[in-house]
Chains A and B, each alone.
Chain A
Amino acid sequence: MRRLAALAAVALLAASCGDDDDGAGSDLDGITVFAAASLTEVFQEIAPNARFNFAGSDELATQIREGAPVDVYAAASPRHPDELFEEGLLEEPRIFATNRLVLIVPADNPAGIESVEDLAADGVKLVVGAEGVPVGDYTRAVLENMGMTGVLDNVASNEEDVKGVVGKITSGAADAGFVYATDATAAGDDVEAIELPEAAQAAVQYPIAVVAGSENAGAAQGFVDLVLGENGREALATAGFALP
């Protein structure tokens, strides 16, 4: 259902695109965007003509440091963009969306997980992001806020990006996993999402910035503007992101 709504929104977006952002739309051909895995679906809807590399934000930061030719960087936490900004490799990052964590289980919920407490049961196979990957760090922060770090004993795999976690759930290999709400939306009927207490949520902030030394600075800025602008915000909202 949410998928259908998202598609409808995109259709509207595409229709409205023709009026205002004609110039920006065509300029986006050929720019390279490194973005956190959780942005996979929504970024491709916003700018289908750009070249994307979706992975864990930490891995992308490493590649930028090694000199990969990239124009825009969008991460799932401020940590890496701030570091890169201090190293002079990135323009000043701006927060364009926030997200929240949810607990997902396979659609048929074979382990009968109803809450975070249920994750502590014997034999439960839990999958989380690895330390250093934003979703992994967020997960551990949330569990600490809830005083439930004990469930980490049941971790069966540390994934290098959030899509890895999603994959383990949809393939039925694991019983439960922590992902972003937007990922749960994107996975649709294959997973069931369990909301986490608002008070325990970590501040999941998504910064975006143009990479210093980009050869397509103009088009890169155009992409950033698009994301921060009305059309971008609409797409993000539909996908389940919260807006600053």
Chain B
Amino acid sequence: MDALYVNLAHPLRSFRLELELEAGRETVALVGPSGAGKTTVLRAIAGLLRPAEGRIAFDGETWFDAKAKIDLPPERRSVGLVFQEYALFPHMTVAENVAYAGPRRVDELLELLGIAALRDVSPGELSGGERQRVAVARALARDPAVLLLDEPLAALDAHTRARVRAELGELLPRLGLPTLLVTHDFQDAAALAGRVGVLVDGRIVQEGTAPELVASPTSPFVADFTGGNLLRGTARPGASGLTEVELENGTRIFSTDRLEGHVGAVVYPWEVAVAREAPTDSAQNHVAGPIVSLVPVANRVRIRVGPLTAEITAASADRLGLRQGEPVVASFKATGTRLVPLA
């Protein structure tokens, strides 16, 4: 079975990194804030770092085993690592860079990544997106068993990022390699990976598909990380199957989740509707307040009302003629209000 198996423990600056994961012919993303240990995991798999404990193996071949004192150097592990800053060799052309691991697939890979025209160009003259593609081609030239991507989109500007994200999203499945990618951006992970693991302070706090994480965050961190609003309050389950949550500011909302005590109510911005008056549908939660800020983002508008951020289409915003400071009501369904326990 072509699977990557990783189990490692390693002390980092202020906490201990401990994780276990497996990846078959799929793309798995490790997301988390900077410093959570994501890059350490990749470096350990590549052989650039020796974990204190654990075992790393691919398809039955042990690459690292602390107990058995096995630690294969990077050149003996079949990995392709795409560095965050790409690390292209500045004294070689694009073609020479790609050919570094082996000349066999150079032409094919240049074609695949769409950079055949750049083969004689020096890395210093490439744009960010182009450099990223060279880095990927170069890593693939080794015919690696496992592909590792370190923050593949971080070094790109916003405009390029969207385009490259789409291209990568198309490429990875075609390659069919076990791929582990690391990012601090949930949207990237959602777009590129089948499974996502959230790494916080050295541990995976939740793992699942991107939609699963959004639908059922199990911790405030995951909720916040996946882009949700987090409203703090006290929950009291009621008889009718609804749980009443009294927010810190006194507002009461309801949720279909059943929890008690200190909770965070998670509401995703795109599930919040904004109107001048409260709609008459009582199954909705309502938060009233003046518009604190209005920020257009692509073809949507993010509106902050009180403690809540809502995201509506630009068209809707225009239709409502919203202005900063005006009183509005933000509404969201009880079924869309998830509850996570607070410490």
Chains A and B in contact, CB within 8 Å = no
